[in-house]
Amino acid sequence: MFALLLLGASYAAAAEDLYVACHAGVTLAPADVRDVFLGEKQFLDAVRLTPVDNIVVQQAFLEKVLRMNDVKYATTWAKKSFRDGVNPPPVMANDAAVLDFIRRTPGGCGYLSSAPPAGFTVIGKY
């Protein structure tokens, strides 16, 4: 029983950190992250920015970084899609899928529960 409590405590501590990372060469200011994930900033020079959501840590990202809940996020994207014709970020199943997406997408940006390996640009740790 004690081991399960320790395991749960270490998982909760690990889940506290979030990393926003982008494709190598994409350098954003941490203040731009909100605009990228809400579809307000779509280009960095000639590169199209493509955010991706991570279902495993989406709640934490919405609360810590975007300062909104999942209902507000979905409503914001529904309005943006209808009004501007911009699609919401695709949703990936875990950190590995997000990293694969970012690696393959020149303007890809996503958030992770752990620090990304070399070859990615870390925008911020939250």
The one-digit pLDDT tens for each residue of the chain (126 residues) are 433 333 343 344 445 899 999 999 999 999 999 999 999 999 999 999 999 999 999 999 999 999 999 999 999 999 999 999 999 999 999 999 999 999 999 999 999 999 999 999 999 999
In-domain check, residue 10: no
Q: What is the phi-psi region of residue 34: left when phi exceeds 0, alpha when psi lies from -120 to 50, beta otherwise? A: alpha
Please state, in angstroms and as integers, the Cα–Cα distance from residue 110 to each residue in 21, 43, 83, 97, following that order.
6, 15, 24, 10
Number of separate domains in the chain: 1
In-domain check, residue 88: yes
Range of the domain at 44: 17-125
Q: Which H or E run includes 112?
A: strand 108-112
In-domain check, residue 3: no
What is the value of pTM for the model shown? 0.87
Secondary structure (3-state) at 34: helix
In-domain check, residue 37: yes
